Amino acid sequence: MRHYGQLGAEERQALFHREPADFDLDSEVRTLGVALGATLYSPATRPRLVADIRKQTARGVVSMVLCLEDSISDAEVAGGEANLVRQLRRLHRESLPAELPLLFVRVRRPDQITDLTDRLGPAVRLLAGFVLPKFTAAGGYDYLEAVVEAEARCGRRLLAMPVLESPELMHLETRAARLTDAARLLEKYRERVPALRIGVTDFCSVYGLRRTPDMTVYDVHPVASVIADVVNVFGRADGTGYTISGPVWEYFRTQPRMFQPQLRASPFRGRGDLRERLIEHDMDGLLQEIELDRANGLQGKTCIHPSHVAAVHALSVVSHEEYCDAVDILGAGPNGGGVLRSSYTNKMNEVKPHRSWAARTLLRSEVFGVAKEGVDYVDLLEAGIR
């Protein structure tokens, strides 16, 4: 699988200086964490789950979470499990793993991991792994060991994606200790953790908050402070860090607006209809939040609606300017230093401080590609939503 694989070869060649590379279930964990991109959540109770997965694959989705937790009621769990097993068995009969997105199952309890693995039988080969909710050091060990046991039972690698969303991570008096404890636990399982996810809806609920479509999560300061601390502990560029996924954007239909749209008109010159459609569906707020995610050390995003996927992927492609800067910085060598004028002659590149940024940028360029000079996010977004 690869990003923008839904486009024809000619269209990809017109958009990319370097096309996105292939990846699969056996790729390195670090690569998969970046490659997740827009991870689309779907309730495991959906009766047409097989058709939904195929439809979203054709639209460019490369990672999905089939959810047995907060997206369904307590009374639906047993039926959701049965539906999930039935649908994945059918999908296994009719498809190859290479034809599908990276599929994860979000569970409620550790015992569901081994139980579902057993019930899926050979169909478990379609799964990338499991999403672990309300993750803390206190309860996380049982989840992680359940993944290890499930892997031993099925004979293939299974990954774990913890979700940081518990109240003790929100509360100031317990946050630092709980984040440190969780980091210490996860270090032992590093090679099976492609990414950490942040449950900002749960964090908001601790204080009865909810952002409007005119605001990003970074305008909600109590939650933004948690994101900053999560990045501080888990997002370091010294080899100890993980990919941290951006939080969910929960709006997908027209909402009453209080403030001016966030999208400038100039990038959409000649394509004003696209800009109007994005604003009409509150996508300008999503685009702004994606940019702020990147600026704050997050990569990709949790998505609850297919319309969000193209926006996340368009802003994940490495621009030609970013790529040139990263190549120049790393080209100075590990013992290099000093300041370089950028290839675009519009900024300084300080070799030593910018080296970790450059390394991350080139990793992102491998899975999302590098845009051609003159191709911007509007071109990529337009291609992604057709």
pLDDT in tens, 63-79: 999 999 999 999 999 99
- Residues 46, 25, single domain; the answer is yes
Confidence of residue 252 (pLDDT cuts 50, 70, 90): confident
Please tell me whether residues 310 and 374 are part of one structural domain.
no
Q: Is the pLDDT of residue 258 over 60?
A: no
- Tell me: pLDDT of 280 over 80: no
Surface-to-core class of residue 109, CB atoms within 10 Å of its CB (0-12 exposed, 13-18 middle, 19+ buried): middle
Distance CA 93, CA 84 (A): 14
How many alpha carbons lie under 13 Å from residue 264 in its C-beta half-sphere? 4
- With 0-12 / 13-18 / 19 or more C-beta atoms within 10 angstroms meaning exposed / middle / buried, residue 270 is exposed
Domain end marker among 256, 282, 316: 316
Which residues 6+ apart lie within 8 Å of 268 measured at CB? 274, 275, 378
Task: Indicate if 270 and 348 belong to the same structural domain.
Answer: no
Contact 62, 103 (CB under 8 A): no
Does residue 5 form part of some domain?
no
- 76 and 166: one domain? yes
pLDDT digits (tens, 9 = 90+) for 314-330: 999 999 999 999 999 99
Per-chain mean pLDDT for the chain: 93
40 within 8 A of 303, measured Cβ to Cβ:
yes
Distance CA 305, CA 97 (A): 23
Same-domain status, 326 and 312? no
Do 255 and 339 belong together in one domain? no
CA distances from 310 to 21, 53, 186, 290, 374 (A): 18, 16, 31, 12, 19
pLDDT, average across residues 357-362: 96
Closest CA to 12 of 376, 386, 380: 380
Domain assignment of residue 11, yes or no? no
CATH number at residue 26: 3.20.20.60
Asked if 91 and 97 touch (Cβ cutoff 8 Å), the reply is: no
Averaged pLDDT for residues 164-179: 97
The average pLDDT across 253-277 equals 67
Residue 372 to residue 319: CA distance in whole angstroms: 7
Name, in order, each residue with C-beta under 8 angstroms of 80's C-beta and a sequence gap of 6 or more: 43, 44, 45, 68, 72
In tens, the pLDDT along 198-237 reads: 999 999 999 999 988 888 999 999 999 999 999 999 999 9
Q: What is the domain range of residue 347?
A: 318-386
Give the pLDDT band of residue 257 (cuts 50, 70, 90).
low
282 labeled binding residue: no
Where residue 161 falls among pLDDT bands split at 50, 70, 90?
very high
Cβ-Cβ contacts under 8 Å for 4 (sequence gap 6 or more): 12, 15, 16, 19, 20, 60, 313, 369, 383, 384
Say whether both 109 and 171 belong to one domain. Answer: yes
Average the pLDDT over 281-296 and give the result: 88
Of 93-107, 172-186, 258-272, 370-384, give the lowest mean pLDDT range. Answer: 258-272
pLDDT band with cut points at 50, 70 and 90 for residue 282:
low
Contact predicate 254/213, CB 8 Å: no
Are both 328 and 278 inside the same structural domain? Answer: no
Whether the pLDDT of residue 253 is over 90: the answer is no
The verdict on pTM exceeding 0.75 is yes
Instruction: Kindly state whether residues 301 and 368 are assigned to the same domain.
Output: no
DSSP one-letter code for 319? P
Task: Identify whether residues 310 and 350 lie together within a single domain.
Answer: no
Q: Do 309 and 329 share a structural domain?
A: no
Q: How many domains does the chain have?
A: 2
pLDDT for 137: 97
Last residue within a domain, chosen from 284, 316, 348? 316
- The pLDDT score that the predictor gives to residue 315 is 96
What stretch of H or E contains 341? Answer: strand 339-341
27-44 confidence digits (pLDDT tens): 999 999 999 999 999 999
Please compute the mean of the pLDDT values over residues 329-356 and round it to a whole number. Answer: 88
Pairing verdict, β 370-371 and 16-18? antiparallel
What percent of the chain clears pLDDT 70, i.e. is strictly above it?
A: 93
135 with 282, same domain? yes
Q: Which residues are within 8 A (CB) of 330 and not within 5 positions of it... i.e. 6 or more apart? A: 355, 358, 359, 362
**What whole-number distance in Å separates Cα of residue 171 and Cα of residue 123?**
41
364 — pLDDT class (breaks 50, 70, 90): very high
Among 316, 338, 371, which residue terminates a domain? 316
Q: Is residue 273 predicted with pLDDT exceeding 90?
A: no
> Does 349 reside within a domain?
yes
Q: Given this model, what pLDDT does residue 16 score?
A: 98
Q: 162 forms bridges with which residues in the sheet? A: 132
Count the helices and strands in the chain (H runs, E runs): 16, 13
CA distances, 54 to each of 75, 100, 348, 362, 384 (Å):
28, 7, 45, 30, 16
Is 8 domain-assigned? Answer: no
Instruction: Give CA–CA dist 198/180, Å, rounded.
Output: 16
Alpha helix locations (H) across the chain?
A: 9-15, 29-35, 49-58, 77-94, 110-120, 137-154, 167-170, 172-187, 200-206, 221-234, 272-280, 283-295, 309-314, 320-331, 351-368, 377-385
* Reported confidence tier of residue 270, pLDDT bands at 50, 70, 90: low
Nearest to 162 by CA among 187, 136, 181, 142: 136
Assess if residue 206 is contained within a domain: yes
Predicted pLDDT of residue 39: 98
Measure the CA–CA gap between 369 and 363, rounded to whole angstroms. Answer: 10
